[in-house]
Amino acid sequence: MGQKIHIAKDVVVSFTGSVVFSDFLSHIRSWCKEYGYSVILEESYEEKEKGDVKSVTIKWKFDKKIDDYHQFSWKLKIALEDYRQGLTEGKKVEQGTLQLLINADLERDFENKWQKKPWQTLFRGFVDRFVRSEKEDVISSVLRKETEEFQFSVKKFLGI
């Protein structure tokens, strides 16, 4: 397996109030599409109910290939906790606490092309250290910028 460089680790966006949860999820999907990310893979979906109070936790993963050697890989954990459903202007609205956990990584050799033989691994280490370091700095800064833009987009949607 290739190497991961953590760009954004456990970045949290929290919101307490009313939100149309389906619109929030659609907003994330449209952001991913706008920025050229792959189809979102839903790793898990968990729903709990205690009386009239519900909680839902969703884990999503998506990525974007930058070149033959690098890709951006995101993991999101979306938790809507202790919410109650209601209607506002004919739309189903959830009142509760929304927490979004963001992890964004830069993956090297994500297709494991350089792990087949020991000499390839050695050569890859040399190239990573001396040849690709400037390029990776630029790629890392792009992912940092996209992470900040994603946070801003989510906060703007939620009105934070």
Tally DSSP H helices, then E strands, for the chain.
3, 5
pLDDT in the model for residue 25: 95
pLDDT along the chain (160 residues), means of 10: 81 93 95 90 92 93 88 95 86 92 86 65 66 76 93 94
Query: 8 with 153: CB under 8 angstroms?
Result: no
pLDDT in the model for residue 15: 95
pLDDT in the model for residue 55: 95
pLDDT in the model for residue 134: 74
- Residue 39, classed as helix, strand or coil, is coil
